[in-house]
Amino acid sequence: MARKKLPIGIQTFAQIREDDVHYYANKTPLALQLITQNKYFPLSRPCRFDKRLFPNTFQERFECSQALFKELHTEKHWDWPLRYPVLRISFGGGVLESRDDLQASLHTQLTLYKRKHGIAAQFPNVHCCFIDLIRHLAQTTGQRRVVVLADKHDRPILHRIKDREKAIAIRDVLKDFYSTIRDRDVHIRFAFLKGASQFSKASLFSGLNNFPDITLDQRYNSICGRTDTNVDTVFAPKLEGLDWEGIRRWYNSYNWLGEPAYSPFDLLLLFDHRQFRRWWFDTGTPTFLVKLLAKRQQFTPNLESVPAPKILVSTFDMDAILTEALIFQAGYLTIASAEIYMGGMDLTLRYPDCKVKTCLDQSLLDALCGDIMMPSRNVSRLHKRQRRCTSSAWSSAGRSRTSPVSKH
């Protein structure tokens, strides 16, 4: 199999597919299944799980970029003459400190879309501006419906999570923004809302009560991850010289009620550097999470192998931020097993692997000590002392075996 380029840092479908020079794990059959299944979909996945690439795949499909899907499942299973206007809203650019910052960001993005389509910017209110944009595009493009894609919808809230009043004010702006989708349902062809946190419908998506929750749907477990099959086929040329079982032990550890999944970020950095390291943790650890654990004096060993009802980890509400839900949705806990019973489901959580557990404990220790160097120095001294004690014990055992047997 010919070697290709690793798509490190590439978050657009076009860049990966143009000229077919990058490795690509084909998720288009799952995307097509979603489009034909329903209209509204939220999805929660941790950072570095292709949260921008997957929505971009929807965008290229609805905007009729047929050449990018050559030899993929979608090429023969999509009505290519149909082209829909796509509104892609991102909440990941810049730091949004307040309700006003968020409203300004939304209004700017909507205004740019209006300019692109020659629509007069006549509404200063974000809600009215969004309604006007959807209505105008639906009436003038010939399709009568538009596609809405939202990236990192939870980031503004998480950034202000320690300031409850500001976080709630930001949440209310988002709630009002998404209510527009409900109000203009007749003009919506498809909506995909992706973030790291799985907010309850009442707290953020009020009115969109008919959408299915696919975050813990085993059919879509690997929708933004990688499977054994992906690694063994797509990335086969990169496996040479690497321990296949080692790759599984290190990185095949995430589960959302389906087949175990790899973090795409971990795999790409492993194939690039040819080293087993904690790639995902080193770039994805949110400061607010560590500070919250420190503030709550959370005993992290208690988080592992603890049964939890599905609702505990599948909702995120500003009025009751549960530690287990926050850590699970951030990617530092995953599902070990599930027990289904009439009317509910109980989950058993675990750390994805020992490196995530160790690194989270180290970050928490640093925060509690207030000195990043002090824990490292003491841990190093403990390791050295343990080695000396072990060496001394082995030496004593050796002398015992070679010394004469006492008569007493």
Q: What is the pLDDT of residue 142?
A: 77
Q: What is the pLDDT of residue 315?
A: 66
261 beta partners: 254
- The bridge status of strand 334-341 relative to strand 344-350 is antiparallel
Q: What is the pLDDT of residue 402?
A: 47
- The bridge status of strand 334-341 relative to strand 307-309 is unpaired
Mean pLDDT by 10 residues, the chain (408 residues): 83 88 90 86 81 86 93 89 90 80 92 92 88 91 87 80 84 85 87 74 59 80 88 92 90 87 90 88 71 79 74 66 79 86 81 79 79 66 70 58 44
* Element spanning 70, H or E: none
What is the Rg, in whole angstroms, of the alpha carbon atoms belonging to the chain? Answer: 25
User: What is the number of other CB atoms lying within 10 angstroms of the CB of residue 372?
Assistant: 12
147: nearest Cα among 44, 59, 28, 211: 59
61: nearest Cα among 34, 92, 24, 90: 34
Q: What is the pLDDT of residue 404?
A: 44
Q: What is the pLDDT of residue 313?
A: 67
- Across the beta sheet with 344-350, the strand order is 307-309, 344-350, 334-341
180: nearest Cα among 119, 106, 117: 106
Domain ranges of the chain: 13-220, 228-283, 285-356
d(CA 60, CA 172): 31
Q: What is the pLDDT of residue 68?
A: 93
d(CA 346, CA 308): 6
pTM: predicted TM-score of the whole model, two decimal places: 0.82
Angle between helices 287-296 and 323-330 (to 10 degrees): 160
- Across the beta sheet with 188-195, the strand order is 40-44, 188-195, 146-151, 86-90
Q: Are the beta carbons of 334 and 328 closer than 8 angstroms?
A: yes
Q: What is the pLDDT of residue 215?
A: 83
Q: Are the beta carbons of 260 and 51 closer than 8 angstroms?
A: no
Q: What is the pLDDT of residue 346?
A: 84
- Tens of pLDDT, residue by residue over 211-221, are 677 888 888 88
The token pair at 170 is 């930001």
What class is the 285-356 domain? mainly alpha
Which of 266-292 are b and which e, b meaning 16 or more Cβ less than 10 Å from the residue's Cβ?
Answer: bbbbbbeeeebebbbbeebbbeebbeb
What's the topology of domain 13-220?
Answer: Rossmann fold (3.40.50)
